Amino acid sequence: MHTSPASGEQHLSPIDHITTSETGEGRRRSLAAWWRDNRTALFLRDNWLLGVVALAVLAVLSVLLWAIWVIVTKLVDVMDAGLDATGAWITDGPITHSISDPMRAYLDTHTGGLPATARDLWITWLIAVGVLYLGALTGSTYARIGWAAIGALTAAAVYLGAPAGAGPTAAGLTAAVWLTLSLPAYAATSGPSLGDVLDSLTDRRARRTVTDTTY
């Protein structure tokens, strides 16, 4: 026996009738509504040419940045190679040997009977030159006097240790190099000495003592 639905009772239909095609259609309608009403979509539709130009400019800028990076990298490599070559020329070049070789020859021939060898005196000379030059760069008066004195002694030793007939040339080259190095050494401003620091501390303590006794 079949029973009919009671009066007022609603017939509930199953949800199986919602098919995949209907779901896809709803999504397409939503996307179309978004493309029609959304501000971003409207801006893209009205200014699409501007977007194309922006992409083209971005591509050109990317290429330019890549080219600049390649050029800068090559320049750095060239400069590094140049600095290496310059450093090798300074430390082991003909100008350096024209001064150091006569200097070492003089030490080799004038250290007989001394406890220190020519190599010991050469290392001592290098240390003294480096320390005096650094001190002269900082503005030390003593270091500047010492730098001038050791330059004169070096020129004399180079003159005496150079091969026959080459003494004046080697000494003149030594003087030229020494004077060139002296430019930054004597142009540097004088820094505070130890005496200046002690005087400053003494004056500060004296002022503090006076201030304390006034209360």
Tens-digit pLDDT profile for residues 136-157:
999 889 999 999 999 999 999 9
Please indicate, yes or no, whether the overall pTM of this predicted structure exceeds 0.85: no
Q: Which of 62-76, 115-129, 144-158 has the lowest mean pLDDT?
A: 62-76
- Smallest CA-to-CA distance from 99 within 155, 38, 40 is with 155
| Long-range residue pairs from 74-83, CB within 8 A, at least 24 positions apart, any chain | none
Residue owning tokens 């030490």: 107
Mean pLDDT over each residue of the chain, to the nearest integer: 76
Tell me if 132 sits within 8 A of 146, measured CB to CB: yes
What CA–CA distance (Å, rounded) separates 158 from 155?
5
C-alpha 20/C-alpha 103 separation (Å) is 98
Cα–Cα distances in Å, from 111 out to 118, 125, 167?
A: 6, 14, 20
CA dist 143 and 129 (Å) reads 10
Cβ atoms within 10 Å of 150's Cβ, excluding its own: 16
pLDDT at residue number 54: 80
Q: Please determine, for residue 104, whether its predicted confidence score (pLDDT) is greater than 80.
A: yes
What is the distance between the alpha carbons of residues 140 and 196, in angstroms, rounded to a whole number? 12
